[in-house]
Amino acid sequence: MLSAEKKPGVVSVIVTTEEGNDLGKTLFTYVDPQEKEEEEWENLMSDEDKMGKLFKRYGKRLQRQGKKKDTKSVLLSGELNCVIVQC
Sequential pLDDT tens for the chain (87 residues): 555 556 778 888 888 998 989 999 998 888 888 888 999 999 999 999 999 999 999 998 888 887 766 555 555 555 544 545 544
DSSP state of 20: -
Between helix 33-45 and helix 48-68 the angle, nearest 10°, is 100
Can you tell me the distance from the alpha carbon of 70 to that of 48, in angstroms, rounded to the nearest whole number?
A: 31
Please give the pLDDT value at position 1. Answer: 53
Longest CA–CA span in the chain (Å) reads 68
The overall pTM is greater than 0.85:
no
Cβ–Cβ < 8 Å for 28, 2: yes
